[in-house]
Amino acid sequence: MKEAKGQKYKSSDSGYNAWLSYPVLPHGSLYDQYVKWCGTVKVTEENETIQAALQEWRQGIESMLDIKVSSESEGLCIAIGTFQGGNAVIRSVFAEDTIAKVGSEGFAIRTRAEAGCIAIGGSTPAGVLHGVFHLLRLIGSLSPIEQLDEVVNPVNGLRMINHWDNVDGSVERGYAGRSFFYENNRIVDDLERIRDYARLMSSAGINAISINNVNVHEWETLFISPAYLPDVSRIAGVFRVYGIRLFLSVNFAGPMHEGELETADPLDPGVRQWWKNKAAEIYEAIPDFGGFVVKADSENRPGPFTYGRDHADGANMLAEALESFGGIVIWRCFVYNCKQDWRDRKTDRARAAYDHFKPLDGKFNDNVILQIKNGPMDFQVREPVSPLFGALERTNQVIEFQIAQEYTGQQRHVCYLVPQWKEVMEFNTHAKGETSLVKHIVDGSLWGNRYSGIAAVSNVGNNKNWTGHLLAQANLYGFGRLAWNPDLSAEEIASEWISLTFGTDPVVSGTISRILLDSWNIYESYTAPLGVGWMINPEHHYGPNVDGYEYSQWGTYHYADHQGIGVDRTVQTGTGYSAQYIGSNAEHYDSLEDCPDELLLFFHHVPYTHVLHSGKTVIQHIYDAHFEGAERAAELLTMWSGLKERLTEDLYVQVEDRLQEQAGHAKEWRDQINSYFYRKSGIEDINMRSIY
């Protein structure tokens, strides 16, 4: 056991408990305050979720304060329960006007000295659980608790994790081991790890999880079959305790794959009835089933196009099947033709989602939600915000992020993505007046949508620390916290996660915070320059490959030749993609003079000698960024080494190993990218560094 300046460390759990590790807090005035209030807890309800909240409270307080929590003692206490649950203390603390402000997942928390308690109340057990996690988070972050008086509700209705797990146990784009839901083509028997995962997700604010890959293979239609539904129901039961609804990805051609029909035409009466019957089967097994996640007519997935129908036809058929049960259809907008010839410079994948879905605005049923990726391409380290945000005025929509670092280092490199997500959420679409931010579109407030929210692709697996790279846990935690409250800053979220995971040592906190907050910029510096993207190896998407376009027979995404680089997406000479934006955004992106440097090559094809707003030429920026990025990646390892005596050996070594790999790999990126563009352009580095 190691001890450092006021911070006591428990033996390592290898990162398994993540931000629910509850490190022992340092002694001092705040510690004394917590001991005074938190040693006694009053709970009267037997509900499973309330009891889970009680268990969490005991575990957190006994670990952080090293005291025993009693339910029998008199004096100051914590009172936990629903407003209608019969706890007299709860009813005495909260006035009716306060109770009226608490939503179905929210909570009220108040310190009332005259009553001798801090009360956590909710209108539902799930709200109470969120309140308990909130108070534990405050204590774990060394916040005072003697003057609490607040009502907290989540901003977004749907806060969802999408798993890309396959029933054989593999995980598409999985960088943290195999699935903990499946093994040997069946659902696991032991649900203990799934229960621990539900705790982690609930504590971060997640309320919906789809447990199978959106690329549902023919033989995986079994997820909605009678043979598998009982086991799926067991998982749903675990999630239910923690306020999480279970969803399933479905194959649009399910009626054909199960051998019952010869068509999947969404307007065929037999197909529509098949899905209605299937929905009834599912809800018989899982009464609170959330609904379907669907990827259709993209990357060779089946869909309504086969039958001359559109996406609204397909989504609405499924929506009708779920409607009477309260279920929803989440229809992904990641739709493009992967077999197009990209050598034709008028063919533009970036246009695809807008071109497909803008004409269908207002044609989807009320229980259909369109899930739109944050950018028009595919989770690149830098790309503009999808123009669909702001374009759909009469359609429910959620934004989709990727916690899994498919194109940002695959959890072998540290890349804290919350700053990127914040930038997207704060983007002004100009869709409805001067200020129409993405975060107000996806929370439903701008257009008054019935359903709205945020979804993201999971980054977890059966690795001992869940995410492979210990610091990648910050992205998982950060997504949940940002989905709950998009106004939290990247700095606030990082600080919370560090305190809850590593403890409150200011040296540890300051160092890890700097590593996280610098990491996105560092990764971008030594990989893809100025928004061009895609310079990765095809198929597995890891490592430098300047011409590594996924469908290599059709050329590259960056169109680099001996004269210049970039994609012309302007109206006059390019693909016209810039016109999909609204007002000044369209003007700025279309203008070579006004386009921001970080997106220049996404919107414009320019000579290597083009001068950026920074004063550098494009080619010199490429050279400098890659040299500086590699140097800064090496500095991350140096910073981390300063924590060796302040962390348990296991946690320290986990991150050290990853940062060593990153430092070496950043040099590989630097050398390959700079060498490629030197040979392509023939222009020397003005600083005369070796680049070939």
Within a domain: residue 1?
A: no
The distance of Cα 286 from the centroid of its chain, to the nearest Å, equals 26
What ranges make up the beta strands (E) of 493-594? 564-565
Q: Which residues pair with 161 in a beta bridge?
A: 209, 456
Q: Are 517 and 491 in contact (CB under 8 A)?
A: yes
249 Cβ contact partners less than 8 Å away, ≥ 6 residues apart: 162, 210, 212, 213, 214, 216, 223, 292, 293, 294, 295
Percent of the chain at pLDDT exceeding 90: 88
Is residue 311 scored above 50 in pLDDT? yes
CA distance 207 to 164: 18
> In CATH, what number is assigned to the domain containing residue 673?
3.90.1330.10
Buried b (16+ CB within 10 A) or exposed e, 105-142: bbbbbbbbeeeebbbbbbbbbbbbbbbbbbbbbbbbbe
Q: Are 247 and 293 in contact (CB under 8 A)?
A: yes
Domain boundary among 125, 152, 179: 152
Task: Tell me what pLDDT residue 336 has.
Answer: 84
Is residue 257 scored above 90 in pLDDT? no
Claim to verify: residue 66 and residue 210 sit in the same structural domain: no
Q: What is the mean pLDDT of residues 15-20?
A: 97
CA distance 91 to 95: 8
CA distance 107 to 153: 7
Structural domain that includes position 111: 29-152
Claim to verify: residue 127 and residue 174 sit in the same structural domain: no
Q: What is the mean pLDDT of residues 195-224?
A: 91
Task: Tell me what pLDDT residue 100 has.
Answer: 98
481 Cβ contact partners less than 8 Å away, ≥ 6 residues apart: 204, 205, 488, 493, 496
If you ran DSSP here, which 8-state letter would residue 67 be given?
A: -
Of 290, 280, 279, 183, nearest in space to 243 by CA: 290
What ranges make up the beta strands (E) of 554-597? 564-565
Within a domain: residue 218?
A: yes
Give me the amino acid identity at 670: R
Within a domain: residue 417?
A: yes
Is residue 266 scored above 70 in pLDDT? yes
Q: What is the mean pLDDT of residues 632-636?
A: 98
Claim to verify: residue 314 and residue 290 sit in the same structural domain: yes
Within a domain: residue 430?
A: yes
492 is catalytic: no
Query: Which H, E and C letters describe 166-218, residue by residue?
Result: CCCCCECCCCCCCCCCEECCEECCCCHHHHHHHHHHHHHCCCEEECCCCCCCH
Q: Which of 13, 183, 268, 378 is catalytic?
A: 378
Sheet holding 149-152, edge to edge: 41-42, 77-82, 117-122, 107-112, 149-152
Within a domain: residue 538?
A: yes
Within a domain: residue 660?
A: yes
Q: What is the mean pLDDT of residues 38-48?
A: 96
Task: Tell me what pLDDT residue 13 has.
Answer: 82
CA distance 448 to 366: 12
Claim to verify: residue 445 and residue 500 sit in the same structural domain: no
Question: What integer best gives the mean pLDDT of the chain?
Answer: 94
127 Cβ contact partners less than 8 Å away, ≥ 6 residues apart: 82, 102, 103, 104, 105, 106, 107
Residue identified by tokens 């390892």 is: 637
Task: Tell me what pLDDT residue 5 has.
Answer: 39
Task: Tell me what pLDDT residue 11 has.
Answer: 44
Question: Reduced to 3 states, what is the DSSP secondary structure of residue 628?
Answer: helix
The distance of Cα 89 from the centroid of its chain, to the nearest Å, equals 38
Read off the pLDDT band of 2 (50, 70, 90): very low
Put residue 468 in one of left, alpha, beta given phi > 0 → left and psi -120 to 50 → alpha.
left
Among 217-226, 367-376, 526-535, 538-547, the range with the most confident prediction by mean pLDDT is: 367-376
What are the helix (H) ranges across 286-417?
311-323, 352-357
Task: Tell me what pLDDT residue 214 has.
Answer: 95
Is residue 6 scored above 60 in pLDDT? no
Claim to verify: residue 482 and residue 493 sit in the same structural domain: no
Claim to verify: residue 479 and residue 545 sit in the same structural domain: no
pTM equals 0.96
Residues in the chain: 692
Residues 317/322/328/333 CA torsion (nearest 10 deg) = -20
Is residue 221 scored above 80 in pLDDT? no
225 Cβ contact partners less than 8 Å away, ≥ 6 residues apart: 258
Q: Return phi, psi of residue 582, to 5°.
A: -110, 135
CA distance 90 to 80: 7
Within a domain: residue 7?
A: no
Claim to verify: residue 458 and residue 324 sit in the same structural domain: yes
Domain boundary among 122, 152, 182: 152
Claim to verify: residue 207 and residue 313 sit in the same structural domain: yes
CA torsion through residues 73, 77, 83, 88, sign: positive
Of 639, 657, 661, 659, nearest in space to 649 by CA: 657
550 is catalytic: no
Q: What is the mean pLDDT of residues 534-563?
A: 83
Q: Are 37 and 516 in contact (CB under 8 A)?
A: no
Domain boundary among 152, 176, 210: 152
CA distance 179 to 188: 10
Is residue 302 scored above 80 in pLDDT? yes
Q: Which of 406, 443, 524, 590 is catalytic?
A: 406
Query: Which H, E and C letters describe 129-160, residue by residue?
Result: HHHHHHHHHHHHCCCCCCCCEEEECCCCCEEE
Percent of the chain at pLDDT exceeding 70: 96
Task: Tell me what pLDDT residue 690 has.
Answer: 79
> In CATH, what number is assigned to the domain containing residue 423?
3.20.20.80
Q: Which of 62, 66, 183, 299 is catalytic?
A: 299
Tally the domains of the chain. Answer: 3
Report pLDDT digits (tens) over 506-525: 999 999 999 999 999 999 99
The distance of Cα 404 from the centroid of its chain, to the nearest Å, equals 8
Q: Are 288 and 240 in contact (CB under 8 A)?
A: yes
Task: Tell me what pLDDT residue 9 has.
Answer: 40
> In CATH, what number is assigned to the domain containing residue 42?
3.30.379.10
Report pLDDT digits (tens) over 312-356: 999 999 999 999 999 999 999 999 876 666 566 678 999 999 999
Within a domain: residue 12?
A: no
Is residue 492 scored above 90 in pLDDT? yes
Residues 41/43/47/48 CA torsion (nearest 10 deg) = 10
Q: What is the mean pLDDT of residues 476-503?
A: 98
User: Would you state the structure tokens that stand for residue 686, as one six-digit string?
Assistant: 């003005």
299 is catalytic: yes
Is residue 652 scored above 80 in pLDDT? yes
Claim to verify: residue 291 and residue 332 sit in the same structural domain: yes
Do strands 368-373 and 77-82 pair parallel, antiparallel, or not at all (unpaired)? unpaired
Is residue 147 scored above 90 in pLDDT? yes
Claim to verify: residue 190 and residue 132 sit in the same structural domain: no
Claim to verify: residue 165 and residue 301 sit in the same structural domain: yes
Claim to verify: residue 168 and residue 138 sit in the same structural domain: no
Read off the pLDDT band of 3 (50, 70, 90): very low
Q: What is the mean pLDDT of residues 642-660?
A: 97
Q: Are 402 and 388 in contact (CB under 8 A)?
A: no
